[in-house]
Amino acid sequence: MRLLEPELLIDLNGLAELTGIDETAGGLRLGALTRHAELSRSPLVARLAPLLARAAPHIAHAAIRNRGTLGGSLGHADPAAELPACAVALDALLHIQGPKGTRRIAARDFFTGVFSTALIPGEIIVAIEVPKPAPGTLPLFAELARRQGDYAIAGIAGTARLEAGLLREARLVFFGIGDRPVEAPQAAAALVGRQPEKVDAAVAALARDLDPTADLNASAAMKRQLAGVLLGRALGGLMVQAA
Amino acid sequence: MSETIAITLTINGESVARDVEPRQNLVDFLRDTLGLTGTRWSCEHGVCGACTLRVNGALTRGCLVFAVQLDGAAVETIEGATQSGSIADLQQEFHRRNAVQCGFCSAGMLLTADTLLREKSDPSREEIRDFISGNYCRCTGYQAIVDAVESVAARRKGGKPKTGKP
Amino acid sequence: MSNPLSFLDRPNSYIGKSVPRPNAKRLLAGRGLYVDDIRLPRLLHLAFVRCPFAHARLKSIDVAAASRAPGVARVFTAKDLAGHYTPWVGVLTHLKGLKSPPQHPLVIEMATWQGEPVAAIAAESRAQAEDAAALVAIDWEPLPPITDMEASLASGATPIHAAMGDNLAFTRNIEAGEVDAAFARAAHIVEEEYSFGRHTGVCPEPRSILADYDASEPRLTVHYSNQAPHMMKEIFARHFGVPEAALRVICNDVGGSYGIKIHVYPDDMTTVLASILLGRPVKFVADRLESFTSDIHAREHRVKARLAVAASGEILAFAIDDLTGIGPYSTYPRTSAVEGNQVVNLVGSWYRAKNYRARLRVAFQNKPPTTQYRAVGHPIAVAVTEALVDRAAEALDLDPAELRRRNLIPDDAYPWTTASGMRFEKLSHQAALEKLLKLMDYDGLRREQAALRKKGVHRGIGLACFVEVTNPGPAFYGIGGAPISAQDGATIRLDPGGSVTVAMSVTEQGQGTEAMVAQIAASALGLALDKVRVVTGDTERTPYGGGTWASRGAGIGGEATLQAAQALKGQILDLAGAMLQTPAAALDLAEGWVVDAAGQRRIALDEVGRAAYFRGDTLPPGVQPEMVATRHYLPRLYPFAFTNGIQACHLELDVETGFIRLLKHWVVEDCGRVINPMLVDEQIRGGVVQGLGGALFEECVYDAAGQLLNGNLADYLVPMAAEMPDIAVAHIETPTLESTLGAKGAGEAGTGGAPAAALNALNDALRPFKVRVNAQPLTPRRILAALGKA
């Protein structure tokens, strides 16, 4: 159908160095060829980056998840995709390799626009490094899509740490509402020291963090509305996990 | 215009060696080159599920892999699954409950349902609907398919079918 | 000859039995034969260059580079086809005033819809054809498109076709009873505007055609994913000058059609012409992206509607103004006016009110051609009617079921003629209502709804009564000059081994036509089902008939089968009687045997068969054995065999996000005599989900320049399994007395009523908020906007 007409097709699937999920001193290293299905199954991911395991079942359907890859999703940089937002929320570091050698790019610096990244021609993602989470860190995830597996109309990926029933740290990243994953630091700050169900201040703070773009599915105002709802529901999910 | 590349792979247990153009996807390779027309295409962008088959045992969209990528791989199509008898119970139940009408989605639907039952022996109706939610059917409205899968799940597990319909 | 009605009650009758379809197992084994599966020697593949603009003038086209591309046999443009066809015009004489310009296979100068084909490349593979298509150089002059229906009819609007004078393709007015007086005396007047988004069929198997012209005979064979092979044969004969006797159209397995595959398409016609001109087989299969822009679209309406109701709850009048946009042409041969015509014919028609005013305007616009798709007009008519009734109930503070109870045509009031002139033989609206309310535990759901509302959980219950047009007679199309046959035929033949073959002119797309025919034949002849072989879909092998459309397979094809089977039975018993020296009237058929009045087996059917075919020497003098009978059936008494039913939708609305969760759906359906309950249930279920798709998810979204924004399956949302509810189906059987079988149709009822039920359920859920959504699809965006949250 000519949606893409590359002159050269390079199959990366045989490159063993792009595979593997390994625990490192600093945390977790995932090869770029890690399949979405592996994210759901891996005990290492469950322990060291459970946000990825929470997000993966929302990606399309089983047949896609068997072949779609973490590196591929990050490199494709669809603003409505789950994994780029998760990478930002986890403070992931992308290991890049190109003709001029290797470099590292922080996830929060990697996504530059719709289907745009900091990669320069000739570079590929080879691995993603996720720092070891602080003890007690829990994943936050919620998305709204018209149908199971669709790209999100709006979604939230993040982490939070609870101590004695109060939020100590939160990291919130929204997807589907802008041209790239959007962090919500003011909303996150407004959560600190509060119980997870007391979200009103955080939802109000979202108005300062987010400036959503309208699309086929939602106006900017609707995206704002949905972001607030998602924040409340993701935090509600936190309570269930912590219990 | 691209040159061809030689591949050797296993299709339904048989070794197949062919020269393929890099741009030819697996579905077209099966249908046009090998005459295995049981796998269908309907969208060619991975959404509808009509082309769903197995590559190295894993459920895969035939429209989203190129044949040239599958040198050394093992592919299972509806023809192979039928011949082996591994989905005979699903085929029988689909037939009995009219979970097939025009038949165009059926190959992908059957292999997907079989995969679910291999991974989960007692799926709820909601879990069945979720798992087949990547397979587009326009004719049945899905309920008969869910009934059929639920019924087969019970039988594979050794119990009795749950739904009341005989 | 035994009583023709008694076969229904026989112990081994298949009538009313839910038998699995013969001839469907192979579909589950990957052995279906669809057009794209067919391989022929020297087959060429077509790819099209299509106009990227909604409106443009073709200034120049250069195919030199494309013609030289590898694998290319020929490139066709309009000038290559000129003189080899006659253009077609989508008008019918009985739709007075309907106008439409002639249509051509490829753009000559003016392109009036995005996706209109302008060049065709025939090459050895589809990929090579597409490679060459990229080399066609076209100079387009984009012109201002008119996409909005209102704008196209506004005074001063530029006509899309200068020769048509304006953009009003068709208009019709109905005035019945005393409408103004009714509104004047009403206690309440409901006034609403409803809109319905343009959407499309999304057939799993895309449109596919393989034309094979053999110049030596000449002989043209067309393998077509289509519902009406005889009609298409007639059209090819008329427009390509190929003699009727040299034409054959074959419809094997069809991967879903739903009305999409019964219209004449310019790219299909180009494919046939390409084969004629090249003398080689040529195949065209639309890919999904081109399906979205080149399949017919459907259901773009804006309806202004009013209802007048008395304080007693008696509905006094309906008044509607329906504006529908059909793209730049009325389609051929069925026209694009029928959809709107059905809307104005049907609104309000199942209620007693006889005061009715309707205005229909059908407008040209620069969007893809738009015409009949499953349930034609009913989704709009039922949604408008039933939404008005719910509003009236609200105004009167009456339960919506009670208001319907007071106003539905009573079950003993038939025959009935509606305000719009539709004739109902006998319907069962009242019985269906009561059956539904019980089936769904309506009162229980209402109590639960009230309790949950207090907890901030918002559920909605929506009812939708409806009628469905089925078994149409010749006054629907044939009267207007269309080569559309309202009759169908069955030829049934006994073979020497005791089995029968039925050649049937109604066709199969998965609904179970072949099963239904087999069940009738087997029952009439006292045979086991596996002794019956059914042949459909081949103009050379079946009687002449209309094929599949307007839910007529069982009612018309089934009746022809029954009559043919009874005629064959007569032949068999006559011969058996002669062989047994017993009057035929004293004999019958059961379980593959000729039996006597006491049920004793006298002679096996295969023995009769062998005698007839091989042992004429043993037969009495003068006996000429003939074991084959043909009967055709045409409905003569009623223009349509209307059916009726009622649906209910139960949903939960998330008022924070605007998302709807469908909890359950119910249908009570009266389609007359049911041959196979399972097949009918599954038609209903599939139809409901298809209707829910248009109501909640599906819309072809255009920008102001007439560019389709969501023409792929990621952005155009078809219903998938996770969001769809279980659907309970129950039946009432009011046979039509016009035929022996008494069967009416059931294929479209699910789609006709489901959007109305969903619309009413949503607005029922929204009642505490005092807002409504009247625009389909009912998206979260529209819902949140109504709630003031977006």
DSSP-derived secondary structure for C581-600: TS-GGGEEEETTEEEETT--
For residue A115, is it within any domain?
Answer: yes
DSSP reduced 3-state for C298: strand
Integer Cα distance of C785 and C780 in angstroms: 8
Assigned CATH class of C6-32+487-633: alpha beta
For residue A97, is it within any domain?
Answer: yes
| Same domain (yes/no): A155, A224 | yes
Chain-chain contact of B69 with A61 (C-beta, under 8 angstroms):
no
Strands A154-163, A111-113: parallel, antiparallel or unpaired by DSSP? Answer: unpaired
- C254 CB near a chain B CB, below 8 Å? yes
Q: What is the pLDDT of residue C8?
A: 67
For residue C324, what pLDDT band results from cuts at 50, 70 and 90?
Answer: very high
Assigned CATH class of C35-143+202-294: alpha beta
Q: At what angle do helices C677-692 and B143-157 cross, to 10 degrees?
A: 120
CA–CA distance from A97 to each of A94, A115, A124, C598 (Å)? 10, 19, 6, 91
Q: What is the pLDDT of residue B54?
A: 98
- Residue C720 is classified by DSSP as -
Give chain C positions within 8 Å (CB) of B143: 685, 724, 726-727
Right CATH number for C377-470+640-786 from 3.40.50.620, 3.30.365.10, 3.30.2270.10, 1.10.357.10? 3.30.365.10
pLDDT digits (tens, 9 = 90+) for C484-510: 999 999 999 999 999 999 999 999 999
| Same domain (yes/no): A97, A144 | no
Assigned CATH class of B5-81: alpha beta
The dihedral of CA C255, C258, C259, C265: what is its sign?
Answer: negative
Q: How far A73 CA lies from chain B's nearest CA (Å)? A: 15
In this predicted structure, the answer to whether residue C1 has a pLDDT above a threshold of 50 is no
| Same domain (yes/no): A54, A93 | yes
Q: What is the pLDDT of residue B159?
A: 58
- Residue C304 is classified by DSSP as E
DSSP characters for C20-48? PPTT-HHHHTT----GGG---TT-EEEEE
For residue A120, is it within any domain?
Answer: yes
**Neighbour order of strands in the sheet with C219-224:** C72-76, C117-123, C44-50, C281-285, C208-214, C219-224, C247-250
Integer Cα distance of C721 and B144 in angstroms: 11
Q: How many helices (H) and strands (E) would you count in chain C? A: 20, 31
- Is the model more confident about A196 or about C243? C243
The total number of structural domains that make up chain A = 2
In this predicted structure, the answer to whether residue A196 has a pLDDT above a threshold of 70 is yes
| Same domain (yes/no): A121, A105 | yes
**Within 13 A of B105's CA, how many CA atoms are on the CB side?**
29
Integer Cα distance of C175 and C355 in angstroms: 8
Q: What is the pLDDT of residue A243?
A: 61
By mean pLDDT, which of B91-105, B149-163, C224-238 is the weakest?
Answer: B149-163
Domain boundary among A131, A157, A177: A131
Amino acid making up residue A83: L
Domain ranges of chain B: 5-81, 85-156
Chain-chain contact of C720 with A221 (C-beta, under 8 angstroms):
no
Residues of the domain holding A95: 18-131
Amino acid making up residue C369: P
Nearest to A216 among C657, C710, C720 (CB): C710
Rounded to the nearest 5°, which phi and psi values hold at C38? Answer: -80, 130
In this predicted structure, the answer to whether residue B1 has a pLDDT above a threshold of 60 is no
Give chain B positions within 8 Å (CB) of C258: 138
Q: How far C324 CA lies from chain A's nearest CA (Å)? A: 23
pLDDT digits (tens, 9 = 90+) for B116-130: 999 999 999 999 999
Q: What is the pLDDT of residue B164?
A: 43
- C787 CB near a chain A CB, below 8 Å? no
In this predicted structure, the answer to whether residue C13 has a pLDDT above a threshold of 60 is yes
In this predicted structure, the answer to whether residue C94 has a pLDDT above a threshold of 50 is yes
| Same domain (yes/no): A208, A227 | yes
Integer Cα distance of C751 and B123 in angstroms: 30
For residue A237, what pLDDT band results from cuts at 50, 70 and 90?
Answer: confident
Chain-chain contact of A147 with C722 (C-beta, under 8 angstroms):
yes
Nearest to C500 by CA among C377, C592, C409, C415: C592
Domain ranges of chain C: 6-32+487-633, 35-143+202-294, 377-470+640-786
In this predicted structure, the answer to whether residue C64 has a pLDDT above a threshold of 90 is yes
For residue A5, what pLDDT band results from cuts at 50, 70 and 90?
Answer: confident
The dihedral of CA A115, A117, A122, A124: what is its sign?
Answer: negative
**CB atoms closer than 10 angstroms to residue C715:** 17
Residue of B21, B66, B93, B142 to mutate, testing the C interface (most C Cβ within 10 Å of its Cβ): B142
Q: What is the pLDDT of residue B2?
A: 64
pLDDT digits (tens, 9 = 90+) for C658-711: 999 999 999 999 999 999 999 999 999 999 999 999 999 999 999 999 999 999
Q: How far B122 CA lies from chain C's nearest CA (Å)? A: 17
For residue C137, what pLDDT band results from cuts at 50, 70 and 90?
Answer: very high
Assigned CATH class of B85-156: mainly alpha
Integer Cα distance of A40 and A42 in angstroms: 6
DSSP reduced 3-state for C76: strand
DSSP reduced 3-state for C58: strand
Q: How far B40 CA lies from chain C's nearest CA (Å)? A: 8
Nearest to B65 among A61, A62, A67 (CB): A67
Amino acid making up residue B61: R
List, in sequence order, the alpha helices (H) in C60-178. Answer: 64-68, 78-81, 126-133, 149-153
SS (H, E, C) C189-242: EEEEEEEECCEECCCCCCCEEEEEEECCCCEEEEEECCCCHHHHHHHHHHHHCC
Integer Cα distance of C213 and C234 in angstroms: 16
Average pLDDT over residues A29-33: 98
CB neighbour list of residue C17: distance below 8 Å, 6 or more residues apart? C519, C676, C677
Q: What is the pLDDT of residue A1?
A: 82
For residue C2, what pLDDT band results from cuts at 50, 70 and 90?
Answer: very low
CB neighbour list of residue C414: distance below 8 Å, 6 or more residues apart? C424, C425, C426, C427
pLDDT digits (tens, 9 = 90+) for C476-489: 898 898 999 999 99
Task: Give the rounded percent of residues in chain A with a pLDDT score beyond 90.
Answer: 88
In this predicted structure, the answer to whether residue B160 has a pLDDT above a threshold of 70 is no
- A147 CB near a chain C CB, below 8 Å? yes
For residue A238, what pLDDT band results from cuts at 50, 70 and 90?
Answer: confident
Report the run of H or E that residue C409 belongs to, with start and end.
none
Give chain A positions within 8 Å (CB) of B112: 62-63
Amino acid making up residue C181: A
Q: What is the pLDDT of residue A197?
A: 85
CA C362 to chain centre: 20
- B3 CB near a chain A CB, below 8 Å? no
Provide the mean pLDDT of chain C.
96
DSSP characters for C596-661? ETT--EEEEHHHHHHHHHH-GGGSPTT-----EEEEEE---S-S---EEEEEEEEEEEETTTTEEE
- CATH number reported for the structural domain that contains residue A180 in this entry: 3.30.390.50
Integer Cα distance of C319 and C160 in angstroms: 30
For residue A24, is it within any domain?
Answer: yes
| Same domain (yes/no): A168, A124 | no
Nearest to B101 among C206, C511, C723 (CB): C511
CA–CA distance from C1 to each of A79, C5, C388, C572, C599 (Å)? 74, 11, 53, 11, 15
Nearest to A225 among C701, C717, C789 (CB): C789
Q: How far A219 CA lies from chain B's nearest CA (Å)? A: 25
Average pLDDT over residues A40-53: 97
Q: What is the pLDDT of residue C199?
A: 98
CB neighbour list of residue C770: distance below 8 Å, 6 or more residues apart? none
Domain boundary among A131, A160, A176: A131
DSSP characters for C687-713? HHHHHHIIIII----B-TT--BS--ST
pLDDT digits (tens, 9 = 90+) for C140-149: 999 999 999 9
CA–CA distance from C135 to each of A176, C123, C128, C625 (Å)? 37, 14, 11, 65
- CATH number reported for the structural domain that contains residue A61 in this entry: 3.30.465.10
Residue in this structure with the two tokens 């969903």, named with its chain if needed: C758
Average pLDDT over residues A69-90: 98
In this predicted structure, the answer to whether residue A208 has a pLDDT above a threshold of 70 is yes
Integer Cα distance of C686 and C692 in angstroms: 10
CA C77 to chain centre: 33
Chain-chain contact of C204 with B104 (C-beta, under 8 angstroms):
yes
* C residues 740..769 contacting A (CB < 8 A): none
For residue A200, is it within any domain?
Answer: yes
Chain-chain contact of C34 with B138 (C-beta, under 8 angstroms):
no
| Same domain (yes/no): A44, A87 | yes
